[in-house]
């Protein structure tokens, strides 16, 4: 889920960082699978998946079709591949043994599921969606928001559509035709014009790992490291961009670093992200390295006073990290996936 606004130039700008969670259509599939496991056992469902993989996939394709259909009857029919009957005897008895015979029936090659039971597959997931939207709508950045646009395959579900309309009566709910294809169409449009999303909210804090001069008032003794006869604090997270900041397309940040050794002929810049807004060290929980680059510094005459400039450029889909030796003007860069590391 994401909150965006349309700017005066017609481009989009995020006003809240995109968020994901266990509220997609696959979690409805999981609820249906749990019912199957309750009826014929988890081991039997796994045996069916292993022995008849194509039929197992077809079963869930049939369920997927039902998820998108408008249900006009009190019972929902789910067709089951005949190969399941090669593994399971008397499905009706299994249903009865689980006390589900009032809600689920076995009719030839189909599960006949009462609409009440069928809706239960959706309720847990839809509840989470509604709660998340409520959380987003009460944030300060949501002021003035009055439209909810539903896209993606799960948005075709009438249960989800009706629940969203009922839960947010003061909002205009827009459901485009073929909402399942809307994401694909959007991807094609984005491919033609990546800068149509002019600004994004960063999900992570971005920076590089450095060794900084040790300060007993700021750094724990365990972090002290003696390098070249001087005290340093190891694995410090030097922040370039904090989590939750609005970054415009092609915006740049810049920091300058110096080598610790006088005869160092290269500097390695290791790029890290963190789920924390203000991480102190790169080995904290929630931090991970996403790339690195080695900047050559062949002229050692400046010793430890030489400088390397590190630039982060945030493009539409990529982050370009560029390192430049100010003495030799030699430059190295690496491109990292902004969307992958921000999703």
The bridge status of strand 12-16 relative to strand 287-296 is unpaired
| Contact by Cβ (8 Å): 323, 299 | no
Maximum pairwise Cα distance, the chain: 86
- The pLDDT tens digits of the residues spanning 268-327 come to 999 999 999 999 999 999 999 999 999 999 999 999 999 999 999 998 778 999 999 999
pLDDT of residue 340: 58
3-state secondary structure of 110: strand
Cβ within 8 Å of residue 222, ≥6 positions away: none
Q: Percentage of residues in the chain with pLDDT exceeding 90?
A: 69
- The pLDDT tens digits of the residues spanning 233-256 come to 999 999 999 998 999 989 999 999
Rounded Cα distance between 112 and 101, Å, is 10
CA torsion angle 50 55 56 58 (round to 10)? 150
| Contact by Cβ (8 Å): 45, 37 | yes
Confidence of residue 108 (pLDDT cuts 50, 70, 90): confident
Rounded average pLDDT over 112-132 = 94
pLDDT of residue 342: 45
Cα–Cα nearest to 207, from 266, 315, 289, 286: 289
pLDDT of residue 309: 96
Rounded average pLDDT over 325-332 = 94
- The pLDDT tens digits of the residues spanning 4-59 come to 998 888 899 888 877 778 888 899 999 999 999 999 999 999 999 999 999 999 99
Rounded Cα distance between 150 and 179, Å, is 7
pLDDT for 209 beyond 90: yes
pLDDT of residue 19: 79
Cα–Cα nearest to 122, from 155, 91, 73: 155
Q: C-alpha 249: how far from its chain's center? A: 20
DSSP label at residue 281: B
């Amino acid at each position: 889920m994401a909150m965006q606004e349309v700017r005066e130039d017609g481009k989009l700008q995020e006003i809240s960082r995109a968020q994901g969670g266990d509220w997609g259509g696959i979690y409805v599939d999981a609820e249906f699978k749990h019912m199957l496991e309750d009826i014929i056992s988890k081991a039997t469902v796994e045996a069916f998946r292993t022995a008849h993989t194509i039929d197992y996939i077809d079963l869930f394709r049939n369920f997927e079709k039902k998820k998108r259909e408008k249900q006009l009857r009190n019972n929902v029919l789910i067709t089951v591949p005949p190969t399941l009957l090669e593994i399971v005897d008397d499905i009706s008895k299994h249903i009865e043994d689980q006390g589900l015979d009032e809600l689920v029936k076995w009719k030839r090659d189909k599960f006949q599921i009462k609409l009440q039971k069928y809706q239960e597959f959706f309720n847990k997931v839809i509840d989470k969606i509604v709660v998340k939207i409520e959380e987003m709508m009460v944030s300060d950045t949501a002021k003035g928001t009055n439209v909810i646009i539903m896209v993606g395959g799960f948005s075709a579900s009438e249960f989800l559509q009706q629940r969203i309309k009922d839960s947010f009566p003061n909002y205009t709910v827009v459901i485009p035709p073929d909402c399942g294809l809307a994401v694909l169409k959007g991807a094609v449009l984005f491919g033609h014009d990546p800068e149509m999303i002019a600004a994004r909210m960063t999900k992570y804090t971005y920076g590089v790992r450095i060794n900084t001069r040790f300060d007993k008032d700021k750094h724990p003794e365990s972090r002290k490291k003696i390098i070249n006869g001087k005290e340093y604090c190891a694995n410090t997270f030097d922040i370039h961009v904090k989590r939750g900041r609005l970054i415009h397309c092609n915006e740049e940040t810049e920091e300058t670093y110096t080598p610790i050794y006088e005869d160092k002929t290269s500097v390695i810049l290791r790029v890290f992200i963190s789920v924390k807004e203000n991480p102190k060290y790169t080995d904290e929980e929630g931090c991970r390295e996403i790339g690195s680059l080695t900047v050559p510094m062949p002229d050692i005459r400046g010793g430890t006073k030489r400088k390397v400039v590190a630039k982060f450029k945030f493009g539409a889909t990529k982050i370009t990290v560029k390192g430049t030796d100010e003495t030799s003007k030699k430059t190295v860069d690496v491109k990292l996936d902004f969307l992958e590391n921000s999703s």
